[in-house]
A and B are shown apart, each in its own frame.
Chain A
Amino acid sequence: MPSASDSTVALPQPGARAFRATTPWMRLPRQAWVMATNDLRQEFRDFELLATAGFFTLVVLVMFGLSFAALGRQAQPLAVPGMLWLGVAFVGALTLTRIFDRERESDTLRALLTAPVDRLAIYLAKASVTLMVLLGCCLVLVPGLAVLFPVAAVFAERPLETAVLVVLGCLSYVSVGTLFAAGLATSSGKNVLLSVILYPLTCPALMWSLVATRALLEGHPDFSIYLTQLAALDVVLVVLSGTLFESVLVGGSARNKGRTTRGRRRR
């Protein structure tokens, strides 16, 4: 049994100790990177997220194929964008739930919140990991649609545009989703509420992606404009979610003495 006396860690007085706090801009990217790689390391240990989300994507794809296989050529440009982004919405909700369940099951999200970590870094890390998983699923979804529906062959013909579109669309979904999934993960229980919140809120972002996708399928000249607008929307959503993240997760300070935190009323 190791004895405690031989290797006592030197502990200078708190406050007298040299601690140079880094500025948020210095620590933000590093901390986000550390947390994101940590999530990926865990993922590559058992591929749980990618396997389940990827399989779910496949199931959704098959269901779309079965339901809409008989769709005429004219109806396809209207239907395929819907399938793409509905697929993303379903898989995204699954991924977000799972990513934050992982932090919940051993209460590790609280450990991150009590560590000297910027809350914004937590947001950035979780959002980027979710985005990566979602993009991985799109690697199944997009080619799958291109195979099932002749109109969607455009995806294969213009891979660069498709890639940009998918990344921007997924980002808009993830930026909002991460905020609310994290907020639900810190309050106790009630994960059902995620779909209640997520779907109405992400509708505008998904609709924008929908518009752009249809323009791509139809070879509409305004496609690049829509893409720019989608990018601008992404910026708005990421900034807004990032700003709100800390106050949603831990609440602000008790600056006002008269305030209360209102929870569920006593039954």
Chain B
Amino acid sequence: MTRLIPVALLAIAAVIFPLSVHQIFIETGIERELGTVQKIFYFHVPLAWIMMLFGVICGIAAGIQLRRESRTAEAFAVAAGELVIVAGLGVLITGPIWGHASWGKPWTWDARQITTGLLWLVFVAYVLVRRYGAAGSERLAAALAIFGAVDVPIIYYAVKIWKTTHPSNNVVGTLPPEMWAALWPALGALLATSIALVFIRARQELVEMELDDAWVQAESLTEQRDTAKGEAT
């Protein structure tokens, strides 16, 4: 049953995605000041939201992993953590392109930019520890993910204060309704895709753990057979 969830989500995304592209490029007018570059906004903002969402999900899953020693939670934490990196990469690439067009420079040390950047770093650290840490470091990585999730609001708020002393231009102004109308389908398509990816990746991780189980079982079965054979002869 769970096998069908990603398939269904990907199917939904496959339907919505062309529609949203149509909505973004054909139905919605070209923004007066920025021109066509503004279209990147419809991909940038959903990706940023997805990144934050899965950062928090990864933290929660890691918390469950530590408390309950749950394999499923561990698999989901890993999958969500990796998705944060992928989505974050998208955000960090599209952001400066858009920024360059709207403010004339790609990086302005805006609160959102710093939050995104730091969060991305934390989750890269998470994957690094999981991959290169010694035995037992999966618990350390889980703690890292929890701190990553907790850090999100803290960093954001800190930079906001930092900025109030030196006000800078606003990133997302008030949006006309037609832009929102184009944003939702794009968000839906990207969200469905990323949930599907997380499911697939988590399943992969679970299968890997089960494969380890099977390996151990096979090993002990072979051993038993050999001993039986040895006794028979």
- In the complex, which of the residues A179, A204, A254 contacts B118, with contact meaning CB atoms closer than 8 Å? A204
Judge whether B71 and A259 touch: CB under 8 Å: yes
Closest to A258 in B: B71
- In the complex, which of the residues B66, B121, B134, B162 contacts A210, with contact meaning CB atoms closer than 8 Å? B162
- In the complex, which of the residues A187, A214, A248 contacts B135, with contact meaning CB atoms closer than 8 Å? A187
B218 at the interface (CB under 8 A from A): no
A146 at the interface (CB under 8 A from B): no
CB distance from A18 to the nearest CB of B (A): 35
Q: Name A229-267 residues within 8 Å CB distance of B.
A: 233, 236, 240, 244, 247-248, 251-256, 258-264
B-contacting residues of A (Cβ < 8 Å)? Answer: 176, 179-180, 183-184, 186-190, 193, 196-197, 200-201, 203-204, 207-208, 210-211, 214-215, 218, 220, 226, 233, 236, 240, 244, 247-248, 251-256, 258-264
Judge whether B139 and A197 touch: CB under 8 Å: no
- In the complex, which of the residues A179, A196, A211, A260 contacts B125, with contact meaning CB atoms closer than 8 Å? A196
A-contacting residues of B (Cβ < 8 Å)? Answer: 66-71, 74, 118, 121-122, 124-125, 128-129, 132-140, 142-144, 146-148, 150-151, 154-155, 158-159, 161-162, 165, 209, 212-213
Listed by A's residue number, 16 A-B pairs whose Cβ atoms lie within 8 Å are A183-B137, A183-B140, A187-B135, A187-B136, A189-B134, A193-B132, A197-B140, A200-B124, A201-B125, A207-B155, A218-B165, A247-B139, A248-B139, A248-B143, A252-B67, A264-B135
Judge whether A259 and B155 touch: CB under 8 Å: no
List the B side residues contacting A244 at CB < 8 Å.
66, 143, 146
Judge whether B147 and A203 touch: CB under 8 Å: no
Judge whether B118 and A200 touch: CB under 8 Å: yes
Judge whether A263 and B136 touch: CB under 8 Å: yes
A260 to B72 Cα, complex, angstroms: 11
Q: How would you classify the secondary structure of chain B's contact residues: helix, strand, loop or mixed?
A: helix
Judge whether A260 and B144 touch: CB under 8 Å: no
CB distance from A225 to the nearest CB of B (A): 9
From known contacts A187-B137, A200-B125, A226-B161, infer whether A260 and B146 are also in contact, taking CB-CB under 8 Å: no
List the A side residues contacting B135 at CB < 8 Å.
187-188, 261, 263-264
Which among A186, A197, A254 has the highest number of chain B CB atoms within 10 Å? A197
